[in-house]
Structure formats: C-alpha cells, structure tokens
C-alpha cells in the first residue's frame, strides 16, 4: 500500500499533467463548472443531513407506517397510470398525423400539442371548478355530471396535459423514418397492426421511451394537480408535513421520492437508443375513409377540453367579477411584477452558470468535465417540493438570514431549471464552427477575447433561448415558490394557490390567464428552436 506522501505526489503529478495538456481557458471553465455543480447538488446534502437526524428506529416506524405505504403506492400508481395513458393517447395521435390521409395535419398537430400551453395545476383547478362538487358545468346545464376529482381525476388531468411529450417525440421519429420499410412488410402480406408491431415500433421505441420518461418524471414531481384533486402523494404529503413542522418525516418522504425518481431514470436508461435513421420517404398514407370524421372529432374534443374549457371558465369569472368578498385575494399588478422579477433573475443567473458547464460538455476533454456537466442535471429529476424543502432546512437552520429572501428563492429556481439553459447553450456551442475561433487565435487574439468577440455573438441566440425557457418555466413554478417566497411578495402562482385554498375560485381568473399567455409564449420559443416546425 503506497504511503500518504507518495499518493499526494501522484495527485500533484496529475494536476501538473492537467495544467500542461489543457489551456487556462479550459481550466477556468473546469473550476467554474465544478463550482456550479457543487452549488446545484448542495441542497440534497442538507436534505440527507436532516433525514439523518431521525433516530433509525423512528425512521423505520415512519416509513413502514400505513400512511407512508399508501402514499408511496398511490404515487407509483399515479406515475404508472399517467405514463401508460399518455403513451396510449400520444402514439396513436402521432400515427394519425403522420401516416394517414387525415386532412389539415399541421393544424391538427398544433391542436394536439396545445395542452402544453397550460400548466397542469391550472388545468386541475379548472376541472375541479367545472366538474367537482357543485361544478359550474353541471350547475349551468342543470345536470348531475360525474365528478372529476380524486385519484382518477389526477390521472386524467395530468395525462391530458402531458401526453404531448409522447406525441411530439413519436411524431418526430415517425417523420424521420423511412416508410418504405413498412411498405416492404405489407408487400409480404403483413397487416397494418403486424407491420406496426414488427417494423415501426422498434424504430420509434426510443422516442416513445423518452416521452414516457418526461411524463413519468412530471407526474412524480407534480404538486399542484394532486393537491387540487385531493390526492395524497409524495409531493403533497411532503409539503403538508413541512408546513406542520414534521420536518424529519418530510425529509424521509423526500428521500423516498428521490429513490423513485432514480428508479425511473434507471429503467429509461436501459431502453433502446435511437438508430440514427434520417430518411424521410413518406410512402403511401393509410386511408381512413369514414374514420377521418371521428378522428377529427376526437382531436377537436381534446382541444375543447384542454384549452377552451379552462380559458372560457377563467374568462367568464373575470367578466362576472369576484364581488369583492376577500380583498386580500384580489389581483394586483405587483403580483405579476414579482413573478417577472424573480423569473428574470433566475434566467440571468442560469444563463451565466450554464456557459462553463455547456463548454465542458461540448469539449469532452476529460471525464471530470463530463461528470460535472451531468451533475448540473440533478434539477431535472428532483421535484420542486424537494428542492424547496432542502433549502428550507438550509435557510432555517444554517443561514437564517437567507430564509424567505429573494436570493434563496432565485437559487431554488436555478437549481430546478438550470438544465434548460445548459441544454440550449450546449446545442449552440455544438453548432459553432471551431475554425472561426482558430482564425481569431492566429491573429493573436487571446482565449478570453476570442470568446467575447467571436464565440459569444455566435452562440447568443442559444443562450437567450435558454434564458427564455428558464424565465417562462420559473413563472409557473408552484411548490418551491410557496415554500421559499419572501413574505409579502406573492406571485401569480401563489395567488392561484391562495384562491383555491380559500374556496374563492374566481380570484384565480386573472393570474391563471396571465400564466396561460406566458406558457403560450414558451410554446413559441420551443417551436422557434425546431427548424422543421411542429
């Protein structure tokens, strides 16, 4: 076994080799990227630390209690039900808009993707108001309609607002697949179902898996929809326990939630990857015949239920007014300004932090750089309520001067949504021509000046797109905002929560409509990044 001085000498040798083989610019990026990665992962340390203060016997008792088992089983069932339903809805719709003779396919594709415009918790709020106890639709029609709430209601609502993840990925895979493969299968007397199972499905399975992963993680981390539907799952239970100051139990539930998220990521990582098929021969479309009319009606019904219903309901509330019953819940321009201010700050910080991380990922010069880049993606898998709880522990116990302040809230947003900024910035860097930078260096321009004068102007659109995505998703974030917002600085999302909690639903009309408009802008940003359109 080597002695300690020998091992230290080997470490210093490795540092010398790293310094000799990499430029100062890369080493600076490595240091900055490491700092960013540590900051992003740090909240989980505080969570584990707090959970470790619970006595082992007490922890086992809490985690094995009937309530904990039911919460875990209900969360798993919600994820499975939503994911399966989204696949069963999204895949056929993708086939319908790419492989059939459905008229106005582009228009119908937009309608099918539009539910992404509305945050699921706003959709849940609308469904509970319209079809819950004493729902507006039943009262208007004078009918006793089935109630949409509880576990079944949560599965339905999350499915309706997340299936586009499966639809968009599957549709893109189908458009890039060579349809002649399917025609060859049909020429061998394979029916449509057999040809889809043996030829098409293996080609599009990675895209379906990627969309299903997004749906599963969304369902697992969704806080507002289960809360509005009255379903006790991990996210809502963690929030309730933290509000009741049962912080040890909340920390243990958070670790269970993180474990389940890790299992989902592990399962997805074992699925097949894309084959790199790029041919776009469309082939002969499937003739729908008279089925085109039910198909168009189905798409129209989806658009009406997911878009027209909530927008129409909120507009009617806004027209009818609130009656002034609870002035403290009335919409104030300051609520929108608070949301915009926090979101702008998060977008700016995330964009700056994403630059060194994305550079490390693109350069691929060391495993350490790639590891640091992957570490910043922790926010992609960690629900907002867990990040909020971890930072509550940090702020309340270690840095009370930070608790309930704007910097801590902005930091929570950055941890949660930094992967969006890293992704778009990395894509911009991958598309940058290195020869341009080399040409600048031949003119005696240093690495910092080359980056500032040559590289950054070229990648600025990608950086701005990432900032826009962080801004727009931060505007909609609910659980972290509830747990960390500065006192007296309500946002649009927290006002919707307050209106629901007080049962004065009409006060949510204006904040909800503003968030829908903001989400619509986010859809335009996403479409602008897709050169081929939707």
User: Could you read off the pLDDT of 161-214 as tens digits, one per residue?
Assistant: 999 999 988 888 888 776 666 655 555 555 666 666 666 777 788 888 888 988
Residue 2 has pLDDT above 80, yes or no: no
- The highest-confidence range among 126-130, 158-162, 500-504, by mean pLDDT, is 158-162
Please report the pLDDT score of residue 490 as a whole number: 93
Q: Where are the alpha helices (DSSP H) in 307-405?
A: 309-320, 333-363, 367-375, 378-381, 384-393
Instruction: Please determine, for residue 376, whether its predicted confidence score (pLDDT) is greater than 70.
Output: yes
Q: Each residue of 111-151: pLDDT tens digit?
A: 998 898 889 999 999 998 888 777 777 676 666 777 888 99
Q: Which tokens sit at 194?
A: 């057999």
Q: Is residue 6 part of a domain?
A: no
Q: CB of 404 within 8 A of CB of 438?
A: no
Check residue 77 and give its pLDDT. Answer: 97
Q: How many domains does the chain have?
A: 2
pLDDT for residue 252:
92
The larger pLDDT score, comparing residue 288 to residue 528, is at 288
Q: What percent of the chain has pLDDT over 70?
A: 78
For residues 69 and 45, membership in a common domain is answered with no
For residue 490, give the H/E element and its range: none
The answer on 522 and 441 residing in a single domain is yes
Q: How far apart are CA 73 and CA 133, in angstroms?
A: 26
What pLDDT is stored for residue 147 in this prediction? 82
For residue 195, count other CB atoms closer than 10 A to its CB.
19
Together in a domain, 250 and 396: no
Please report whether residue 124 resides in a domain: yes
> Alpha-carbon dihedral of residues 149, 153, 154, 159, nearest 10 degrees?
-160
Query: Could you tell me which residues come within 8 angstroms of residue 458 by beta carbon, excluding any fewer than 6 positions away?
Result: 428, 432, 436
Given this model, what pLDDT does residue 276 score?
47
Within-domain flag for 470:
yes
Q: Which long-range CB contacts under 8 A does 454-459 form with residues at least 24 apart?
A: 458/428, 458/432, 459/425, 459/428, 459/429, 459/432
Q: Is residue 118 part of a domain?
A: yes
Whether 162 and 125 share a structural domain:
yes
In this predicted structure, the answer to whether residue 395 has a pLDDT above a threshold of 70 is: yes
Q: Over range 95-121, report the average pLDDT.
A: 88
Torsion sign (Cα): 379, 381, 385, 389: negative
Quick check: helix, strand or coil at residue 466?
helix
Confidence check: pLDDT of 1 > 60: no
In a domain, 300, yes or no: no
Distance CA 72, CA 257 (A): 8
Question: Does 59 reside within a domain?
Answer: no
pLDDT band at 532 (very low <50, low <70, confident <90, very high): very low
In angstroms, the CA 195 to CA 268 distance is 25
pLDDT at 347 over 80: yes
pLDDT, mean of residues 34-63: 85
d(CA 3, CA 176): 58
Same domain, residue pair 466 and 344: yes
Q: Does 30 score more than 60 pLDDT?
A: yes
Decide if 422 is inside a domain.
yes
45 pLDDT more than 70: yes
Residues 32 and 69 both lie in one domain = no
DSSP 8-state symbol, 431: T
pLDDT at 368 exceeding the cut of 80: no
CB proximity list for 186: less than 8 A, separation 6 or greater = 192, 195
Are residues 252 and 337 both part of a single domain? no
Q: Is residue 8 part of a domain?
A: no
- Is pLDDT above 80 for 413? yes
pTM equals 0.85
- Same domain membership, residue 148 and residue 119: yes
Residues spanned by the domain of 529: 24-53+326-533
Mean pLDDT across the stretch 496-523? 87
- Contact between 490 and 481 under an 8 Å Cβ cutoff? The reply is no
Residues 121, 34 share a domain: no
Which residues are 286's β-sheet partners? Answer: 100
Please indicate whether residue 131 or residue 438 has the higher confidence score (pLDDT): 131
Q: Considering 241, 256, 278, which residue would you say is the last residue of a domain?
A: 278
Query: Does residue 251 sit in the same domain as residue 360?
Result: no
Q: What is the mean pLDDT of the segment spanning 349-375? A: 77
Mean pLDDT in residue range 470-492:
91
pLDDT tens digits for range 229-281: 999 999 999 999 998 888 899 999 999 999 998 888 887 666 655 444 444 55
Q: How many CB atoms lie within 10 A of CB 524?
A: 12
Average per-residue pLDDT in the chain?
A: 81
Query: What does the pLDDT look like over 284-323, one tens digit per residue?
Result: 677 778 888 989 999 999 999 999 999 999 999 888 876 6
Residue pLDDT, tens place only, 421-431? 888 888 787 77
CATH of the domain at 126: 1.10.3720.10
> How many angstroms separate the CA atoms of 299 and 97, rounded?
10
Per-residue pLDDT, averaged over 406-425, amounts to 90
Q: What is the pLDDT of residue 105?
A: 85
> 167 and 30: one domain?
no
Domain check: are 369 and 268 in the same one?
no
From residue 393, alpha-carbon distances to 389, 403, 484 in Å are 6, 9, 11
How large is the average pLDDT for residues 349-356?
89
């Amino acid at each position: 076994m080597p002695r300690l001085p020998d091992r230290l000498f080997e470490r210093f040798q490795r540092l010398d080799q790293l310094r000799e083989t990499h430029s100062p610019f890369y080493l600076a990026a490595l240091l900055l990227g490491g700092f960013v990665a540590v900051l992003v992962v740090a909240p989980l340390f505080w969570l584990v630390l707090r959970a470790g203060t619970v006595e082992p016997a007490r922890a086992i008792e809490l985690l094995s209690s009937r309530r904990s088992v039911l919460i875990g089983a209900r969360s798993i069932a919600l994820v499975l039900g939503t994911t399966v339903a989204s696949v069963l809805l999204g895949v056929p719709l993708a086939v319908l808009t790419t492989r059939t003779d459905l008229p106005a396919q582009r228009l119908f594709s937009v309608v099918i993707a539009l539910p992404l415009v509305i945050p699921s918790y706003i959709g849940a709020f609308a469904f509970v108001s319209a079809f819950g106890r004493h729902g507006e639709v039943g009262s208007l029609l004078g009918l006793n309609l089935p109630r949409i709430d509880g576990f079944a209601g949560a599965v339905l609502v999350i499915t309706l607002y997340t299936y586009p993840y499966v639809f968009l990925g599957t549709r893109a895979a189908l458009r890039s697949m060579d349809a002649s493969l399917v025609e060859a299968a049909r020429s061998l007397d394979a029916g449509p179902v057999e040809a889809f199972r043996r030829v098409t499905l293996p080609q599009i399975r990675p895209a379906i898996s990627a969309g299903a992963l997004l749906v599963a993680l969304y369902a697992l981390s969704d806080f507002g929809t289960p809360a509005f539907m009255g379903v006790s799952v991990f996210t809502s239970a963690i929030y309730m326990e933290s509000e009741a100051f049962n912080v040890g139990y909340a920390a243990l539930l958070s670790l269970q939630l993180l474990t389940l998220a890790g299992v989902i990521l592990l399962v997805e990582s074992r699925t097949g990857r894309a084959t790199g098929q790029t041919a776009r021969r469309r082939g002969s479309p499937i003739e729908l015949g008279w089925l085109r009319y039910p198909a168009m009606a189905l798409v129209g019904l989806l658009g009406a239920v997911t878009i027209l219903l909530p927008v129409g309901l909120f507009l009617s509330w806004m027209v009818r007014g609130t009656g002034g019953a609870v002035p403290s819940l009335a919409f104030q321009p300051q609520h929108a300004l608070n949301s915009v201010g926090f979101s702008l700050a998060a977008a700016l910080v995330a964009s700056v932090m994403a630059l060194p991380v994305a550079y490390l990922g693109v350069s691929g010069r060391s495993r350490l750089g790639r590891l640091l880049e992957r570490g910043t993606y922790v926010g992609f898998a960690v629900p907002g309520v867990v990040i909020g709880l971890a930072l509550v522990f940090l702020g309340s116990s270690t840095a009370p001067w930070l608790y309930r302040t704007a910097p801590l809230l902005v930091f929570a947003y950055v941890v949660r949504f930094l992967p969006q900024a890293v992704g778009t910035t990395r894509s911009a860097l991958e598309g940058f021509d290195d020869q341009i930078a080399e040409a600048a260096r031949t003119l005696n321009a240093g690495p910092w000046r080359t980056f500032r004068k040559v590289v950054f102007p070229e990648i600025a659109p990608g950086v701005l797109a990432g900032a826009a995505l962080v801004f727009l998703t931060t505007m909609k974030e609910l659980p972290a905002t509830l747990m960390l917002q500065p006192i007296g600085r309500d946002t649009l999302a927290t006002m919707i929560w307050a209106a629901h909690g007080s049962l004065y639903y009409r006060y949510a009309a204006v904040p909800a409509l503003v968030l829908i408009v903001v989400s619509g802008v986010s859809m335009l940003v996403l479409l602008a990044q897709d050169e081929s359109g939707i």
